[in-house]
Amino acid sequence: MDPLADTLRRLREAFSAGRTRSPEFRAAQLKGLGRFLQENKQLLQEALAQDLHKATQLDSAFIRKEPFGLVLIIAPWNYPVNLTLVPLVGALAAGNCVVLKPSEFSRSTEKVLAEVLPRYLDQSCFAVVLGGPQETGQLLEHKFDYIFFTGSPRVGRIVMTAAAKHLTPVTLELGGKNPCYVDDDCDPQTVANRVAWFRYFNCGQTCVAPDYVLCSPHTRERLLPALQSAITRFYGEDPRRSPSLGRVVSDKHFRRLRGLLGCGRVAIGGQSDEDERYIAPTVLVDVQETEPVMQEEIFGPILPIVNVGSLDEAIDFINRREKPLALYAFSRSSQVVKRVLAQTSSGGFCGNDGFMHMTLASLPFGGVGASGMGSYHGKFSFDTFSHHRACLLRRPGLEKIYSIRYPPYSPRNLRMLLVAMEARSCSCTLL
* Nearest Cα residue to 126 out of 150, 101, 163: 101
Annotated catalytic residue, options 173, 180, 186, 263: 173
* 74 strand-pairing partners: 101, 149
How far is the C-alpha of 223 from the C-alpha of 186, rounded, in Å?
10
Does residue 87 contact residue 376 with C-beta atoms inside 8 Å?
yes
* 127 strand-pairing partners: 99
The widest CA-to-CA distance across the chain, in whole angstroms, is 88
Does residue 89 contact residue 115 with C-beta atoms inside 8 Å?
no
How far is the C-alpha of 100 from the C-alpha of 305, rounded, in Å?
39
CA–centroid distance for 200 within its chain: 22
DSSP annotation of 244: T
**Burial annotation 110-129 (CB, 10 A radius, 16+ → b, else e):** beebeeebeeeeeeeebebe
How far is the C-alpha of 63 from the C-alpha of 66, rounded, in Å?
10
DSSP annotation of 376: B
Q: What's the first-to-final CA gap in the chain, in angstroms?
A: 37
Helices (H), 146-249: 153-165, 188-200, 217-235
The angle that helices 153-165 and 133-140 make with each other, rounded to 10 degrees, is: 30
Which residues, other chains included, contact 419 with Cβ-Cβ below 8 Å and sequence gap of 6+?
none
* Three-class secondary structure of residue 387 per DSSP: strand
Residue 125 is a catalytic residue: no
How far is the C-alpha of 285 from the C-alpha of 220, rounded, in Å?
9
* Nearest Cα residue to 141 out of 163, 167, 157, 126: 163
* Three-class secondary structure of residue 278 per DSSP: strand
Annotated catalytic residue, options 207, 215, 263, 350: 207
Residue 207 is a catalytic residue: yes
Catalytically active residues, by annotation: 173, 207
